[in-house]
Amino acid sequence: MGAKKEIMNAPSQDVIVTRVDAAISWMRKNSVWPMPMGLACCGIELMAVGASRFDIARFGSEVMRFSPRQSDLMIVAGTCVYKMAGVVKRVWDQMPNPKWCMAMGACASTGGMYRSYATVQGVDRFLPVDVYISGCPPRPEAVLEGLMAIQRKIANEQALHAMKTGIASAPTHQPVTGPVIVRGDYATRR
125 φ/ψ angles, rounded to the nearest 5 degrees:
-70, -25
- Choose the binding region for other proteins from 32-40, 142-150, 157-165, 169-177 (rule: CB under 8 A): 32-40
Select the residue interacting with other proteins from 71, 119, 156, 169 (CB under 8 A). Answer: 119
Considering the rule CB under 8 A, would residue 99 count as an interface residue with other proteins? no
Q: Which of residues 57-76 bind other proteins (CB under 8 A)?
A: 66
Nearer to other proteins, 23 or 82 (CB): 82
Select the residue interacting with other proteins from 22, 136, 160, 170 (CB under 8 A). Answer: 136
181 φ/ψ angles, rounded to the nearest 5 degrees:
-115, 125
Sheet of 100-104, strand order: 34-38, 73-77, 100-104, 131-133, 180-182
Q: Which of residues 146-175 bind other proteins (CB under 8 A)?
A: none
133 φ/ψ angles, rounded to the nearest 5 degrees:
-120, 125
Amino acid at site 47: M
